[in-house]
Amino acid sequence: MSTTRPQVLLAAGDREAVAAQLLQLWGQGGTAAIAVPEEQGALRAALPARVDPDWGPAVVLGSGGSLGARHWCLQPLAHLQAAAAATAAWLWQQGLDPAASELFNPLPLQHVSGLMPLVRAQAWGVPLHWLSPQLMRDPAQLQQQAPPRPGTQPLLSLVPTQLQRLLEQSEGVAWLRGFALIWVGGSALPEAVAERCRREGIRLAPCYGSTETAALVAALPPDRFLAGEAGCGEPLPHARLRLQPGSDALEIQAPSLALGTLEAGRLVPLPLQAGWWCSGDRAALGPGGLTLLGRLDGAMQSGGETVFPEQVEQRLLALAAAAQLPLAELLLLPQADALWGARLVALVRPRAGADATALITALSALAQALPASQRPLHWHPCPPLERTAAGKWERQRWRAWLQP
């Protein structure tokens, strides 16, 4: 078994080729670490010099997690396979045979939701169709080049942003109708989108999971979704859910839980209390199952990604300092967005005498080095922008400034 440093795979370009590298590495007992090029520096800094043989084949993925910070999650292949087996059992409960399915994957490999279709396809021995971002933006071509075949049991995973884009065109609606089941997760499903899908007979299965759980731990059956139920349904067969005593913090127990996170070359075990992991999400558990209420740590969901505005602020401040831009203050705030769920908006105060327009143009250019979900959608010059005497932001004050 390999004891070398984890091999970094960059999630750029041909996902199928990267997936082939990953499978080959797993076949050798190795550990892969997957990230977009913009995050490879942070990833490499987290990785150990050598892999612990006890991990077995494994993967390292970025996660928002529950601690209010971006970190790198270690998932053994055996845990991913346990999650795939539980998903198969859940499909049987819905009257679907996993071995008769075909999987369609438009999601990126650096996310657990884009990795798990590969693991499921390998475990179930079924075809996996890779759908490019370009194809997902062209429903007419999508319907021609990647149609769900009649007589099969096609399965698809989406984030709400992708779903909304497809619903905007009749060809996208027709394509979605061809699926036996569509898992949708990553962020809250807008009620208007849910109602549109019900009217169109689109078999959604709103679901919940995270990198730490190897994706799905709860899902709402599509028949119940079409009947008007909301939420994320009951736990899958391998998982147990509860609320932390005295709070609405969601806790999870499952054999698919990650080993922990990699920080500065060492493994920090997942913080468990008698086998239970606190997800960082607020939730309610009722007769219909799981309903999410939001994050505990102030994170926002943007296009299916967990984004921490304060971390993005620090990254942009560092980039601005390196570029010697005349930036005095920068504050990022979340703003509701019908397509993405939320987007960042930037308030900018230039140094005295500096041109605000030129500064914002330069900052916007620097932000292109960040993942799309972390790039501010709008930039506003804000001359009075300042922190409190304690050096903290009164975020509610500046939200009010944005919406006078």
Q: Where are any strands of DSSP class E within 322-372?
A: 327-337, 341-350
How far, in Å, are 144, 184, 221, 369 from residue 203 at the CA level?
21, 10, 9, 37
Q: Is the pTM for the entire model greater than 0.85?
A: no
Question: 83, 76 in Cβ contact below 8 A?
Answer: no
Domain with residue 190: its CATH number is: 3.40.50.12780
Strand (E) or helix (H) holding 273: strand 272-273
Question: 170, 73 in Cβ contact below 8 A?
Answer: no
**Identity (one letter) of the amino acid at 334?**
P
Where helices occur in 55-111 by DSSP H, the ranges are 77-93
Same domain, residue pair 287 and 317: no
Same domain, residue pair 158 and 197: yes
Strand (E) or helix (H) holding 268: strand 266-269
- Burial of residue 178 (number of CB atoms within 10 Å: 0-12, 13-18, 19+): middle
Length of the chain: 404
HEC assignment per residue over 294-333: EECCCCEEECCEEECHHHHHHHHHHHHHHCCCCEEEEEEE
- Burial of residue 230 (number of CB atoms within 10 Å: 0-12, 13-18, 19+): middle
Q: Say what the pLDDT of residue 404 is.
A: 67
Which residues are CB-contacts of 171 (< 8 A; sequence separation ≥ 6)? 139, 140, 142, 143
Task: Compute the distance between CA of residue 353 and CA of residue 334 in angstroms, rounded to an integer.
Answer: 29
The residue among 249, 265, 295 that closes a domain is 295
Q: How many CA atoms lie within 13 A of 146 on its CB side?
A: 26
Q: Is residue 232 part of a domain?
A: yes
Closest CA to 181 of 123, 258, 120: 120
* Residue 47, phi then psi, degrees to nearest 5: -75, 145
Q: Say what the pLDDT of residue 1 is.
A: 43
Q: Which domain holds residue 229?
A: 7-295
Q: Is residue 1 part of a domain?
A: no
How many domains does the structure of the chain reveal? 2
* Residue 73, phi then psi, degrees to nearest 5: -100, 135
Q: Is residue 301 part of a domain?
A: no
Same domain, residue pair 59 and 143: yes
Q: Is residue 148 part of a domain?
A: yes
Closest CA to 90 of 296, 276, 237: 237
How far, in Å, are 100, 181, 194 from residue 143 at the CA level?
21, 17, 22
Angle between helices 160-167 and 191-200 (to 10 degrees): 50
Q: What DSSP character marks residue 169?
A: S
Q: Say what the pLDDT of residue 209 is.
A: 95
Taking the alpha carbons of 383, 389, 392, 398 in that order, is the dihedral positive or negative? negative
Task: Compute the distance between CA of residue 52 and CA of residue 74 in angstroms, rounded to an integer.
Answer: 11
Same domain, residue pair 234 and 354: no
Task: Compute the distance between CA of residue 229 and CA of residue 219 in angstroms, rounded to an integer.
Answer: 12
HEC assignment per residue over 13-34: CCHHHHHHHHHHHHHCCCEEEE
The residue among 295, 330, 360 that closes a domain is 295
Task: Compute the distance between CA of residue 235 and CA of residue 373 in angstroms, rounded to an integer.
Answer: 29
Same domain, residue pair 34 and 133: yes
Same domain, residue pair 208 and 330: no
Q: Say what the pLDDT of residue 257 is.
A: 98
Closest CA to 335 of 381, 290, 300, 365: 300
Q: Say what the pLDDT of residue 291 is.
A: 93
Same domain, residue pair 316 and 191: no
Task: Compute the distance between CA of residue 60 and CA of residue 392 in angstroms, rounded to an integer.
Answer: 34
Same domain, residue pair 224 and 368: no
Q: How many CA atoms lie within 13 A of 193 on its CB side?
A: 21
Task: Compute the distance between CA of residue 309 and CA of residue 300 in angstroms, rounded to an integer.
Answer: 8
Same domain, residue pair 232 and 283: yes
Q: What DSSP character marks residue 53?
A: G
User: Residue 188, SS3?
Assistant: coil
Please report, in tens digits, the pLDDT of each residue of the chain (404 residues total).
456 889 999 998 899 999 999 999 999 999 999 999 988 999 999 999 999 999 999 999 998 644 446 789 999 999 999 999 999 999 999 999 999 999 999 999 999 999 999 999 999 999 999 999 999 999 999 999 999 988 889 999 998 888 988 999 999 999 999 999 999 987 678 788 899 999 999 999 999 999 999 999 999 999 999 999 999 999 999 999 999 988 899 999 999 999 999 999 999 999 999 999 999 888 999 999 999 987 787 788 899 888 888 889 888 988 998 899 999 999 999 999 989 999 999 999 999 999 999 999 999 999 999 999 999 999 999 999 987 645 567 888 898 998 86
Q: Is residue 2 part of a domain?
A: no
The residue among 295, 323, 351 that closes a domain is 295
Q: What DSSP character marks residue 275?
A: T
